[in-house]
Structure 1
Amino acid sequence: MERFRLKVRLWLALAVMCMGILAIGLWGAFKTRDTMIADRQAELKSVVSVAYSVLDRYNGLAAGGTMSLADAQRTAMADLRAMRYDGAGGYLVLEDAHARVLMHGVRADLEGKDMSGFTDPKGRHVFKDGSDLAEREGEGFIHLQFLKPGSDQMAPKINYVRLYKPWDWTIVTGVFTDDIDAAFYTTLMQYVGAALILCLMVSLVIGVIVRSILRQLGGEPAYAAQIASRIADGDLDVVVETKAGDDVSLLAAMQRMQHRLAQAITQIRSGATLISTVSNEIAAGNADLSRRTEQQATALGETASSMEQITATVKQNADNAKQASQLAHNASETAARGGQVVGQVVETMRGISQSSHRIGDIIGVIEGIAFQTNILALNAAVEAARAGEEGRGFAVVAGEVRSLAQRSAAAAKEIKTLIEESAAQIEGGSQYVGRAGETMQEVVHAVRRVTDIMGEISAASVEQSSGIEQVNIAVASMDQTTQQNAALVEEASASADVLKAQTGQLAAAIAVFTLPEEH
């Protein structure tokens, strides 16, 4: 069936459908005929049942002694002979077990005759077969050919026989079925005509549908299925043949789909290659970043250790600066006291210098007195020389006085010289002491400056220690962040590996497609 074209297959389907419709028509006609025959058979059974009741009633009367058996049988036959049905065309017949006619509803001439040898045109022993069937099964139907009243033609007939056992009689009745056959043939022709008309209408519809399907498909379904199968197998290099100007059929849509799939797969393949390259670069970058992160973590660990050492050193420096500040403060106080002592020394040296000047002045006075005494002694010696002998003793005294005056003048001169030298040294010492005082003042100022600087250094050391503590906290946070970054790098590396694997699977998945440039 697959090798036939769509049109042929649709026409074959139409032929099968028409045959099915004809078969249904035939079945319907035969079913109608069977129904009509069943109705006739039911009617025959009903009539025979009435006759059976009549015989049974008279048998009861005979058994009850109301009438003799012969009278009962004779009266029963009379009643049955008078019975008519089916528009007065139906009648009853009574037979005995040997096919002898006991009563005939329309032919009294047959009564008392042995009809076992009577046959219909087909050779059927009508009476004998009926009595035998009744004796054997109790009741049943017989199909036969019989001369129809008012006609010289044999017609099909159905007889119904039933045995009345008490009297060993067979009740027979029948109806002709030629009208059923006529109705059957009429119905059959109606069904056939309707089926032919329906097949013609369906043929027209099928023709339109075939043209529409072929126009929508753009070709044979087998060809479309072959193209779809090749595309499904990944062959995007297949050439889809369509009719000129066809852009709405299934094949045209498959052609567009094939072109777009080829473009999409080409782009996906390029993207997969690019993703693979980028994944490798990301993996390499993650590996390098992981290595650098580990190095950074190691460096941060070392930095943390160094910062701890620096913190200890800064704390020690702060303590030392605090002690140095205290020492500088003590030195400043000592220098201040030294400056005060030096100032007192300067004042004392000034007093000594002033005393030395006063002593010089006194020595000057002594020299004046010695000079005047020497003048007076000289004058006395001159006067003593003028006095002569009387003034010789005075001259000696004057000489002694002069000698003492000269010695006093010489001693005073020496003392003056010593005092001048002492004054000069005291002056120099005063200058040195003054310079020392100035130097002590400078030392005091310098020590105070050093104290201030040491205080600032101590405060700066405290602030530096606090800052280093914050730096330690920041370094610890950086170390934690670095650890988290390392974990994220590991996750990114794992994701890159997954992306690389997925890219490989994508490349393998699209590798099954054959693109036009690959043939």
Structure 2
Amino acid sequence: MYEIWRKLFGNLKVFKKMLLVSVVSLISMIVLTFILLLGQEKMMIKEKKTQLVNIIDLSYSFTQKEYNKFKSGEITEEEAKKNVLEAYKNFRYQGNNYIWINDNNIDSVKMVMHPMTPNRDGKIMDSDVYNVATAIDFGEDSKSSKKLDNTNMFKAFVEATQGSGSGFVHYSRVDEKTKKLQKKLSYVKEFAPWGWVFGSGIYIDDIEEEFMNSAQKAGLIVLIILGILSFIFRMITKEIVLKVTFINEGLENFFAYLNRETTEVEIKQITCRDEFGFMSDLINSNIEKAKKGIQEDRELINETINVLGEFEQGDLCQRLHMNVSNPAMMQLKNVLNKMAENLEHNIDNVLNVLEKYTNFNYLDKVNTTGIKEDLLKLANGVNSLGDSITTMLVENKSNGVTLHDSSTVLLDNVGKLNNSANEAASSLEETAAALEQMTGNIRNNTHNIAKMAEISNNVTKSANSGEKLANDTVASMEDIDTQVTAINEAIGVIDQIAFQTNILSLNAAVEAATAGEAGKGFSVVAQEVRNLATRSAEAAKEIKGMVENATKKADEGKEIATNMINGYKMLNQDITQTIELISDVEMSSKEQLTGIEQINDAVAQLDQQTQQNAEIASQTNDIAISTDSIAKVIVKNADEKEFKGKDSVKAKTFKHQDLEKPVKKEKVIESKSNDSDEWESF
């Protein structure tokens, strides 16, 4: 309801609201007056009805008494009816009002007795003149009603008695004197034993006339009251508006002071002692209190601003000390001081933990009980920092221990590698020297074999000459001595070649034995050279024997010369084979020299790489020593700090299959010659 009122009239000014109250009051007064008048009319009608009921009940009682006399046998029925009719013919009340009687035959109602017009007695009352009934109220209390449209009033009289035995009928009659239509109300009651309906009616125009008089008087009174109320309303409204305006100006001045638009507030005083005067006194006293409270609040706010300024610069030790009368401001002061204490306490806790972290002690954490939002985030951040540093330290120590263990193994292995590299370098130096010496020997052998090839060519020439001489021996035996001498010299040369070849083969065999697996091919060649030398020696021996036989048997003539020619031919073939063998040995020696030179180059390169590996191994050893020192420093630094899990940190383990294994590359030295399977394998 209030919302509806606020929406409809909330924006109206006080004058209009007062006017609205006056109008509503006036309308309410008029409506109340009208209702009272209507109630008065109803009361008057009710009094009329009560009067009619009492009159009819009285007549009914008299009729019942006469009927009882008849029933008791005191009088006859005719006498009883006659007594009743005679009694009511002369009965009058309140001037000229009377009682009539008609029967209860609703279809054709007959008048039994009418005291004012006796000529109607015994007649059926069906004339159109009687069609004036407008309503029926059934029963004495009129609990139910029925509207009629100008129905025959006598039929309405009978209908009103049906069911409840009595009732009221409303109808209108034309006054014979004034010729005006007058309203009338009749009450009827049935006497069933005789079939009679008693009725009496009264005019109710006086009620309407009285109602109109009362309405006029009430209207005049309302107008007088309205005039008085209008004057009073005007004066009161004017006074209220003036006082409200006066108070409004004071409140505007006070609100301007509250909003810091002015620095002073003006007190507005109403001298009269009505509600507005009391309101003015109350407002002024509260303005004084508010002014005092505002000044205190402003001083406290200024102090709060100064303290919060110190807070902004990081000084959390400042507190508010001023006391004011405003409970909210005191609560704000207490909340700010409590906030500062809690904030200082929590910041101190964070700083203490951070100071311990600065001293490498990461065991403590910031207590997060009773804090939330940003302070909780700060505390959790510091705790997370400690956890992160602890995790990092555990990881660093684990890595340091792992690095220490690995560096120890690395240091041992690098030491072994360094020793092995140095030993390999020394061995390679010796091998290079031996190969250099063997290369010189092979180079000399190759040179000697070249000389042998040259000598073999000379032997071939000598053999050819001997053969020619042998052929010439047929013609002339005289040159035998000369040829024999030449043959002896050639045999000496062959014998020397065989001897030197044998010595070279022995040296080659020794060198081949020294070379091991690499000298197997050279050993085979040495053996072949030895066989060649042996065969050359045997051939020289054979030739020598033949020459001796030729010398002894020179005298034998052509036959011996012929045999000697054949021998020279065989010698020439053997020398040719020997030359071929020497040529093969020469080629093999050259290839062996080339292979030995390649080996020498490879050994020299290997020696250089070994020297580099030795140098790298030495540097790696230094790095391993430095790494071991760093690992010890890392572990020492981690042990100097305090953190959870420090004593349980262990070295990490790595699986060997997780590490990438280096691929070893073997260097293969290929021979440039394809003449021998042994040299190809070498």
TM-score (norm 2): 0.37
Query: Which structure has more RCO (C-alpha within 8 Å, separation ≥ 6)?
Result: 1
TM-score (norm 1): 0.48
